[in-house]
Amino acid sequence: GNSVTQMEGPVTLSEEAFLTINCTYTATGYPSLFWYVQYPGEGLQLLLKATKADDKGSNKGFEATYRKETTSFHLEKGSVQVSDSAVYFCALREGGGNKLVFGAGTILRVKS
Amino acid sequence: DTAVSQTPKYLVTQMGNDKSIKCEQNLGHDTMYWYKQDSKKFLKIMFSYNNKELIINETVPNRFSPKSPDKAHLNLHINSLELGDSAVYFCASSLRWTEAYEQYFGPGTRLTVT
């Protein structure tokens, strides 16, 4: 079946550090890929998405590029802020509908 | 203007009880979902309804029964609660089922079974 693997957390960074959260997937074909973010005590919010190979999704300084060769969708940000502290989920869209398969989530903690 | 709302936010109950969680969306979306998030933050879909019809029913015990009285509401009823049901339950909605539309999540209901 389809699956998503994310790097284990927690990831702890100082403010203004560079962030990478690795995400790889296993799927048939080329599914749409997503990053969702969950701030403390809240539901998930879409951060960015890419629907085909080589697409780059970007939002709020975060970026991720759909790499079909390496079946990856790594999340990056050049300079993190304390307010970026949250849980980040990588997900893929399975099949022809809108069913999402999520990775295990990566906790990010940013210290001032 | 809350897009996807859930009630209650917290639910503490004893084993064997029956409880319901309600979800409403005011976005005019066709599709709604229930997810379960365990203590390790792992998120898994349970059910999905499109235009009031059940389209996803994952491997979930029969004790869980979703009901969609109209497109804007999707409720979750749980019978004979067990300790393992303790989790955060999220409702979500999306514009359509057939494409990669963004899913909008509610704030979650933290269920604790004692």
Point out the residue among A41, A93, A105 whose CB comes nearest to the CB of B100: A93
Dist. CA B89–CA B109, nearest whole Å: 5
User: Binning pLDDT at 50, 70 and 90, where does residue A98 land?
Assistant: confident
- Residues of chain A with pLDDT > 70, as a percent, come to 100
Point out the residue among B42, B44, B105 whose CB comes nearest to the CB of A43: B105
User: Binning pLDDT at 50, 70 and 90, where does residue B98 land?
Assistant: confident
Contact B107, B21 (CB under 8 A): no
Two structure tokens written together for A67: 């790499």
State whether residue A81 is helix, strand or coil: coil
B97 vs A98: CB contact, 8 Å cut-off? yes
**Mean confidence (pLDDT) of chain B:** 94
B55 vs A97: CB contact, 8 Å cut-off? yes
Point out the residue among A43, A49, A102 whose CB comes nearest to the CB of B100: A49
A29 has a chain B CB within 8 A of its CB:
no
- Residues of chain B with pLDDT > 90, as a percent, come to 87
- The shortest C-alpha distance from B68 to chain A (Å) reads 18
* Mean pLDDT across A67-86: 97
Dist. CA B71–CA B27, nearest whole Å: 10
Is pLDDT above 90 for B99? no
Nearest to A73 by CA among A28, A29, A18, A35: A35
Is pLDDT above 90 for A67? yes
Check residue A95 and give its pLDDT: 81
Nearest to B37 by CA among B87, B75, B78, B85: B87
Closest-approach residue (CA) in chain A for B107: A43
Q: Residues B13-58: pLDDT tens digits?
A: 999 999 999 999 999 999 999 999 999 989 999 999 999 899 988 8
Is pLDDT above 80 for B87? yes
Closest-approach residue (CA) in chain A for B48: A99
Point out the residue among B45, B94, B106 whose CB comes nearest to the CB of A43: B106
Dist. CA A54–CA B85, nearest whole Å: 40
Which of B35, B42, B43, B48 to mutate against chain A (most A CBs within 10 Å)? B43
User: Binning pLDDT at 50, 70 and 90, where does residue B100 land?
Assistant: confident
B97 vs A46: CB contact, 8 Å cut-off? no
Q: Residues A9-47: pLDDT tens digits?
A: 899 999 999 999 999 999 988 899 999 999 998 999 999
Check residue B1 and give its pLDDT: 66
